[in-house]
Structure formats: structure tokens, C-alpha cells
Amino acid sequence: MKQIKFYNNKNIISGRLKSAREHKKISQTSLAAQLQTLNVNIDQQMISKIEKNQRQVTDYEVAAICKCLNITFEWLIGDYNDLFK
């Protein structure tokens, strides 16, 4: 599969995902388990790679992350206009 990067980023949620997860006091392992109950096949190592901006994230993974952390999609992706500055 071709690796896609945008301004040297593999995703735009890495920092906010880590922030929200830590704020809710949820471990990467616990988040991965919650995602798996939603039929999203992500393990702790994949969560770590997303937070380190080393892995792309699909739309359904983002939706499931929002559900598990009780956050909005808009908050998680942030102001995407900042990406173009």
C-alpha cells in the first residue's frame, strides 16, 4: 500500500487523541479494548503509533475513537485550516 503523508504527517489527530485519552485517564490498552468491542481491530501498539503520528487512521476508526472517548469529531480533528499555514 502506498504511504500517504500530508506535510510529513500520517494523521491529524495524534496530539488531540493522546490529550483526550490522558484527560479521561484511559490507557492505550483500555482504549484498544473498547474499540474492539465496536468491531474495530486496533491494538495498543496501533494506538501508540497513531499518537506518535506514525500510522494513518481510517474514517471508521476516527468515528469509533470519538464514541469511546465521548468527544466530537470536530474537536478531534481540530482546525484543519491550520494545516495549510
Beta carbons of 11 and 56 less than 8 angstroms apart: yes
Using a cut of 0.75, tell me whether the model's pTM lies above it: yes
Q: How far apart are CA 34 and CA 53, in angstroms?
A: 21
Beta carbons of 66 and 7 less than 8 angstroms apart: no
- Could you state, in order of their start, the residue ranges of all structural domains in the chain? 14-79
pLDDT tens digits in sequence order for the chain, 85 residues long: 567 777 788 999 999 999 999 999 999 999 999 999 999 999 999 999 999 999 999 999 999 999 999 999 999 998 776 666 6
The CATH number that domain 14-79 falls under is: 1.10.260.40
